[in-house]
Amino acid sequence: MTLRLVTAGESHGPRLTAILEGIPAGLRIDSAFVDRDLARRQHGYGRGGRMKIEKDRATLEGGIRGGVTLGSPIAIGIENRDFANWSKVMHPLENDPIASAERRVTRPRPGHADLAGGMKFGAGDLRDVLERASARESAARVAGGAVCKLLLAECGIEVASGVLSVGPVIDPESPRSFAALQKVREDSPLRAMDASLEKEMIAAIDEAKRAGDTLGGSILVGARGVPPGLGSYTSWDRKLDARIGAALFSIPAVKAVELGSSIEASRGPGSLAHDEIERGRRGNLRRRSNRAGGLEAGVTNGEDVIAVAYMKPLSTLARGLDSVDLATGEAARAAYERSDVTAVAACGVIAEAMLAFVLADALLESIGGDRLDDVKSRLTAHRERIRKYSRV
């Protein structure tokens, strides 16, 4: 792996940190761009009260001088404003025993990390688990992913996302293309791919909220301008489809990932599953469709990279699912703490960050270069070689 992204920090701790290692020197970092993606992650109908408290902003703390990367690890901090309300419980060094006892969590939520994480670390207070398992951590990933997007943009690669479905509300005919993603309205309540469905989606969220329930959904994430030849079929762990899949699966609550239109393709014959090759008017090779989502055998083929991530309904239900109180051994309702009804729109922004990370990693691996100008000139040569190869 050429790029590494490590995050640290608890949901109600003082701050989150992202360290991104492997970005070449000479990349201009626009902190407003990073902040814009952080704000996009906070947006979306169905989010809980936490998002009203936090106004995420990136503090650039290492690896950048005068707005330009140095080639050293990039450190980004994001303050947790809510820490002011939790300092007696979440201070890294000293906590108030009475306040900590009041906030102790002993009724694990089915579907969350609580019980599995408690068993793993032997936590007497499940807060030790849920504070890190919380999707608040994804803000740090979004900050790191925004830097990857800036690198990709220098290389002519764009990344975007949109909401395909919320709960049962979906347009099964919704086109799976980058062009469709470009029509998504950033200022709309859910960043839906089909704006005409937003009313119905909002009604479904309101209904779930009234019932003390939650909803999941799905998002489309894609990239345009990706050069052919990234990733490899030569070894299983170099396959880019697998790496994109793992990155999207790592997003909290994402339980299925699809490349292109592979679920539909799996239900039909091979004659309707693949992207036939033809010769364009100028002798260039091209595809008639992009059902594979821009990847064949783990290698990019020059088409848009397209993936769908499916998010389960969130596991903190206001009405609580059946659980057991670990302190008493008695049956109890699972713990409830301020929570989202759905976070599908935010999931799209996190998916952009994860896809940007994997593509930037694969680009640096195939093209290489310690400085941005080296990366760009090598990429130009790579694209030229592919252009010549594809002219028959």
Ligand X SMILES: Cc1cc2nc3c(=O)[nH]c(=O)nc-3n(C[C@H](O)[C@H](O)[C@H](O)COP(=O)(O)O)c2cc1C
If the CB atoms of residues 240 and 253 are measured against ligand X, the closer one turns out to be: 253
Shortest CB 339 distance to ligand X, Å: 4
Contact 14, 92 (CB under 8 A): yes
If the CB atoms of residues 38 and 314 are measured against ligand X, the closer one turns out to be: 314
Residue among 7, 261, 315, 323 that touches ligand X (CB under 6 A): 315
If the CB atoms of residues 133 and 324 are measured against ligand X, the closer one turns out to be: 133
Shortest CB 76 distance to ligand X, Å: 18
Contact range with ligand X by CB under 6 A, out of 72-80, 95-103, 312-320, 362-370: 312-320
Window 177 to 236, contacts with ligand X (CB under 6 A): none
**Which token pair is 281?**
């008017």
Q: Is 34 in the site for ligand X (CB under 6 A)?
A: no
Q: Is 13 in the site for ligand X (CB under 6 A)?
A: no
If the CB atoms of residues 217 and 252 are measured against ligand X, the closer one turns out to be: 252
Q: Is 343 in the site for ligand X (CB under 6 A)?
A: yes
Contact range with ligand X by CB under 6 A, out of 183-191, 223-231, 279-287, 346-354: 346-354
Q: Is 340 in the site for ligand X (CB under 6 A)?
A: yes
Q: Is 125 in the site for ligand X (CB under 6 A)?
A: no
Contact range with ligand X by CB under 6 A, out of 8-16, 61-69, 233-241, 248-256: 248-256
If the CB atoms of residues 29 and 113 are measured against ligand X, the closer one turns out to be: 113
Q: Is 251 in the site for ligand X (CB under 6 A)?
A: yes
> How many residues interact with ligand X (rule CB under 6 A)?
19
Q: Is 135 in the site for ligand X (CB under 6 A)?
A: yes
If the CB atoms of residues 111 and 225 are measured against ligand X, the closer one turns out to be: 111
Q: Is 48 in the site for ligand X (CB under 6 A)?
A: yes
Q: Is 346 in the site for ligand X (CB under 6 A)?
A: yes
What are the backbone angles phi and psi of residue 60, rounded to the nearest 5°?
-85, 120
Q: In the complex, which residues of this chain contact ligand X (CB under 6 A)?
A: 48, 112-113, 133-135, 138, 251-253, 314-316, 339-340, 343, 346-347, 350
